[in-house]
Amino acid sequence: MAMPRRSRLSLPPLDLGEETIGQRLARLRKERGYTQAELSEKLGIIQALISDYEKNKLRLHAEMVIRFAQALEVTSDELLGLNGTRKLNEGKASLRLLRRSKKIEELPSSQQKTLLKTIDTFLKGAGK
C-alpha cells in the first residue's frame, strides 16, 4: 500500500481563534468534569494519548474527532472550533456537580440543611 503524499497546495492559514484543538479538548473535558483517566476509559484508549492530544503532540484524525465529540457530548464542529461554543451541556449539570450532589444527599439531614444555607448565603452575595 502506498503512503499518502504530502499536499503541494499552498493554502491560507485557518483562523480558528486563539485556542488550539488540544486546548479546546482539555477545556471541554474539564467543563464536563472528566479527568484524563476517566475520558480515556470512556474512549477505550490509554490516558497518555489523551495527554498527547491535549498537548497537540498528536493530531486528531476523523474517527477520533467523532469519538471525542460523542464522549464529550459536543458537535464535531465545536470540538474543531468551527462554530461558537454551546453553554456547558446545554443546561445539564456537570459530572463534578452531580458527584458532589450525591455526597450531599448522603449527609445527615441537619448537615444538609446547614450546607444548603451556606450555599444560599453565598449565592445571594454573588448576585450583587
* 86 and 27 housed in the same domain: yes
**Which of these, 53, 48, 60, lies nearest to 23 by C-alpha position?**
53
73 has pLDDT over 90 = yes
What is the spatial distance between Cα 32 and Cα 26, in angstroms, rounded to a whole number?
10
Task: Return the CATH number at 58.
Answer: 1.10.260.40
* 101 and 83 housed in the same domain: no
pLDDT digit string (tens) for 90-112? 556 677 788 888 888 898 999 98
C-alpha cell, 65: 474527532
pLDDT for res 119: 86
* 50 and 25 housed in the same domain: yes
pLDDT for res 87: 47
Across 14-39, average pLDDT: 90
- DSSP label at residue 91: G
128 has pLDDT over 80 = no
In the chain, pLDDT over 90 holds for what percent of residues?
Answer: 51
Across 1-22, average pLDDT: 79
pLDDT for res 88: 44
pLDDT digit string (tens) for 61-72? 999 999 999 999
Q: Is residue 106 part of a domain?
A: yes
Q: Which domain holds residue 56?
A: 21-91
* 31 and 82 housed in the same domain: yes
- Give burial (CB, 10 Å; 0-12/13-18/19+) of 38: middle
What is the spatial distance between Cα 26 and Cα 54, in angstroms, rounded to a whole number?
6
* 28 and 66 housed in the same domain: yes
Query: Pick the residue with more confidence: 104 or 16?
Result: 104
Structural domains in the chain (count): 2
* Residue 34 and residue 97 in contact, taking contact as beta carbons nearer than 8 Å: no
What is the spatial distance between Cα 31 and Cα 41, in angstroms, rounded to a whole number?
17
**Which of these, 34, 19, 23, lies nearest to 56 by C-alpha position?**
23
9 has pLDDT over 90 = no
Q: Kindly report which listed range (9-13, 46-50, 56-60, 92-96) carries the lowest average pLDDT score.
A: 92-96
Q: Is residue 68 part of a domain?
A: yes
